[in-house]
Structure 1
Amino acid sequence: MSEDQTPPGRVKRGVKPSGKPTLKTIAQMTGLAVTTISRALNNAPELAQDTRDRVQKIAAEIGYLPDRAALRLKTGRTNVVALILEPDEQIYGFGTSLVTGITEALRDTDYHLVITPLFRNVPAIEPIQHIVRNRMADGVIFSKAEPFDERIRFLLDNNFPFVSHGRSQWPEQHPFADFDNEAYAYGATLRLASKGCKKVSIVLPDSALTYTDHLKAGVERGAREAGIAFEFAADVNLGSATDAIRNYVIKRAKRPERPDGYVCASELSALAIIGGLNEAGLAVGTTTHVVTKQASDMFMQFQPGAETVFEDFAEAGRNLGQLLIRRIGGETGGLHWMAQPRFDWPTS
């Protein structure tokens, strides 16, 4: 046999193989044992750095991917992080921004992000239970936390790693990332009072959500401190159709003691409210004022006349991902992050 010939069933060292590459493929290409290849791909510190680098470089070049089923059987790990999103959470880039931040946090780790949809009329706990009971992921991220959220209770009781976007009122500490909505609503209300508003209103999220109470507390505190009136919009919430919010604002503008200032908890509701105010003949920025949270550049393209406070969902995603990796790694205390609103009001 000439030195250029390779025995049948063998991969010539240094030659990229055909077919799906395996640990054995990399071992044949490098001359290293399969166990050494496995340790090198897992960055075992006892191996020389140049060995780890060489093995990982070859694995990347030939497109090696670990067998997740085998990995789960061997280690109990999937190297998967599950993000549960409702389809409507893509509105104005919430879902996209969150995914961007989470994937940045997972970069250079062994973890991959899998998005699990939560459809309307399906109990929010169902995808959580499916993931935990079938060990579909090593950790889970979800949003719209409730004060006594059954998802959080289930995950705590099962000691399953998770991070929620939003807080709960369970006595046990749990990992979360959140925006200080009470501080936002308080500051926004004071800003409206400084613009001469005598009565402020807010279209709140669903009453079951924790941050609804935070927004209510902020508006109430700010209004009482400024000595102005306040009200919470009736019959509509952030989940209502934009037409319903718009029509509510039009009708409310025609009744006595109408609000002359609105605190908005989302861009979409702000656009609906501004549309309603304009249709009612109230000029936003002069006879009526609006302060809203802003999460995208698109909002200001409409030149709505509102003042804005930025909420960075990509930053929230990065923190959600980082906190979850730490929780999967065994940490249990101090796993929370709270974004504070920045009030950069115009000077004019």
Structure 2
Amino acid sequence: MNDGMNSGTSGQPLAGYERPTLKTIAYMTGLGITTVSRALKDAPDIGADTKERVRQVAQQIGYQPNRAGVRLRTGKTNVIALVLSVDEELMGFTTQMVFGITEVLSATQYHLVVTPHTHAKDPMIPIRYILDTGSADGVIISKMQPDDPRVRFMTERNMPFAAHGRTDMGIEHPYHDFDNEAYTYEAVKRLAQCGRKHIAVLLPARQFSYHDFARRGFDRGLREFGLTEFPLNGIISNDTPLDQIKEISRALMSGSDFPDGLVSISGTSTIAFVAGVEEAGKSIGKDIDLVSKQSADFLNWLRPEIHTMNEDIKLAGRELAKALLGRIEGKSPTVLQSLSQPVWSFRAPKFGK
């Protein structure tokens, strides 16, 4: 459709023309301004065909709501803030998370703003800023701690939020999590099936909740399958710089006593560990078997001999967005909690040394 008024092929307003308004859309569709407004807000009393017609025209003419006006009228920003650690950018984590969230938000009036931060600094800083400035209607956070001050703060301030991970602090809140306990248990089981006996585990840093879940599943697997742990004694985690992981791996595998199996919680850490193994002159699948979690199939492409399970980060983004929207609508946190299970990669190698 070409209205000849104020849009180009990109759907953006042409220079020299006034900004499209609800009145513009109403004129082009023959609908009332109130109907147009409610259609764009996905009101339940507006028919699906009408909503689609209004959205198509809005997109073609480059309509964008006046956010300052919306905030003055409603007290809402129509913004969702995704607060992510810069450490999570590796291997497309952020990209997949954003894709999943925007898939859900695309059918709503909400827009996503990514707020980066580092856990080396106070993780409360971006949360306080968002709440003090009123710059978002809801927040998505990750890298959860068992007793997380962000959860307590936003709960006390009645800020809707959803967490990528669980806590253990007696506060019910929306979350989506990956079952790291099931993952590490199944990983140990796979290594036992490969005939491995002396297993190391590369865990998250101790301050994060998923460390405890992963540790629990690993220990249960060792007990049930009669294996022993090769202790790393806390010298490395999946938050250790990759060059240090490689050097520690090389030193371990160069000695006379080294693990014959490894469970890794992070694909990037696995790559660094493998580099150290091979610098020590050892071989994956012969001297040591590895099971690693991954969020994309890159490990299978690079090293098909590594056993891998997938964590669907795009699914996590979708579930977090749905949980946060539900919380904004006033739903109970207890019905806004979900847990995804690990799935073996199709290309995982067969058992045996």
- How high is the TM-score relative to the length of structure 1? 0.88
* Matched residue, 1:171: 170
Question: Which amino acid in the other structure matches residue 251 of structure 1?
Answer: A
Counterpart contact for 1:284–1:304, Cα < 8 Å: no
SS state at 1:164 partner: strand
* Matched residue, 2:318: 318
- Within-5 A mapping of 1:1-348: 16=5, 18-26=17-25, 34-44=33-43, 55-119=54-118, 121-233=120-232, 234-255=234-255, 257-303=257-303, 305-332=305-332, 333-343=334-344, 346-347=349-350
Q: Relative to structure 1, is the Cα distance of residues 30 and 320 closer, same or farther in structure 2, using a 3 angstrom cutoff?
A: closer
Counterpart contact for 1:274–1:304, Cα < 8 Å: no
Structure number with greater Rg is 1
Question: Which amino acid in the other structure matches residue 336 of structure 1?
Answer: Q
C-alpha distance in 1 between matches for 2:275 and 2:135: 44
C-alpha distance in 2 between matches for 1:340 and 1:49: 35
C-alpha distance in 2 between matches for 1:181 and 1:318: 19
- How high is the TM-score relative to the length of structure 2? 0.87
SS state at 1:287 partner: coil
| Runs of 5+ consecutive residues of structure 1 not aligned to the other structure | 1-13
Q: Relative to structure 1, is the Cα distance of residues 232 and 265 closer, same or farther in structure 2, using a 3 angstrom cutoff?
A: farther
Counterpart contact for 1:141–1:164, Cα < 8 Å: yes
Q: Relative to structure 1, is the Cα distance of residues 134 and 229 closer, same or farther in structure 2, using a 3 angstrom cutoff?
A: same
Counterpart contact for 1:204–1:238, Cα < 8 Å: yes
Displacement after TM superposition at 1:38 (Å): 3.1
C-alpha distance in 1 between matches for 2:53 and 2:281: 70
SS state at 2:115 partner: strand
C-alpha distance in 2 between matches for 1:287 and 1:49: 60
C-alpha distance in 2 between matches for 1:249 and 1:43: 54
C-alpha distance in 1 between matches for 2:86 and 2:155: 26
SS state at 2:335 partner: coil
After TM superposition, the structure 1 stretch with the greater mean CA deviation from structure 2, 268-277 or 16-25, is 16-25
Question: Which amino acid in the other structure matches residue 170 of structure 1?
Answer: M
C-alpha distance in 1 between matches for 2:55 and 2:278: 61
Displacement after TM superposition at 1:342 (Å): 2.3
Displacement after TM superposition at 1:54 (Å): 5.4
| Runs of 5+ consecutive residues of structure 2 not aligned to the other structure | 7-16
Question: Which amino acid in the other structure matches residue 248 of structure 1?
Answer: I
Displacement after TM superposition at 1:42 (Å): 3.2
SS state at 1:140 partner: strand
After TM superposition, the structure 1 stretch with the greater mean CA deviation from structure 2, 127-136 or 338-347, is 338-347
Counterpart contact for 2:300–2:308, Cα < 8 Å: no
Displacement after TM superposition at 1:85 (Å): 1.7
Displacement after TM superposition at 1:232 (Å): 4.2
**Size of the alignment, in residue pairs?**
335
Q: Relative to structure 1, is the Cα distance of residues 169 and 218 closer, same or farther in structure 2, using a 3 angstrom cutoff?
A: same
SS state at 1:163 partner: strand
Counterpart contact for 1:200–1:259, Cα < 8 Å: yes
Question: Which amino acid in the other structure matches residue 98 of structure 1?
Answer: M
Q: Relative to structure 1, is the Cα distance of residues 168 and 198 closer, same or farther in structure 2, using a 3 angstrom cutoff?
A: same
Counterpart contact for 1:187–1:343, Cα < 8 Å: no
SS state at 1:278 partner: helix
Displacement after TM superposition at 1:33 (Å): 5.6
